């Protein structure tokens, strides 16, 4: 997941749920996820690593929120 996000130049925060109990609680209670990786973008929770699904989601988000020209 890290390599995928870095390749697309998408900023992210990584949490190690094996040592960070608060992050584990947040993942299971707030996002109702027990699977890793769990990716949260705005209100969307994506579990597991499925590059095709991620590409489709990210493309749909970027097309609905175009970056203004500088």
Is 70 part of a structural domain of the chain?
no
Read off the pLDDT band of 70 (50, 70, 90): low
**69 falls within a domain:** no
**3-state SS, one letter per residue, for 17-46:** CCCCHHHHHHHHHHCCCCCCCEEEECCEEE
In this structure, is residue 31 part of a structural domain?
A: yes
* Structural domain boundaries, residue 52: 2-64
Q: CA-to-CA distance for 54 and 46, rounded, in angstroms?
A: 8
* Residue-wise pLDDT tens digits, 16-48: 999 999 999 999 999 999 999 999 988 889 999
């Amino acid at each position: 997941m890290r390599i995928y996000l870095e390749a697309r130049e998408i900023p992210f925060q990584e949490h190690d749920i094996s040592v960070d109990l608060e992050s584990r609680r947040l993942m299971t209670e707030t996002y109702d996820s027990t699977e890793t990786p769990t990716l949260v973008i705005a209100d969307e929770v994506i579990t597991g690593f499925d590059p095709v699904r991620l590409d489709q989601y990210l493309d749909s988000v970027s097309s609905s929120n175009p970056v203004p020209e500088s």
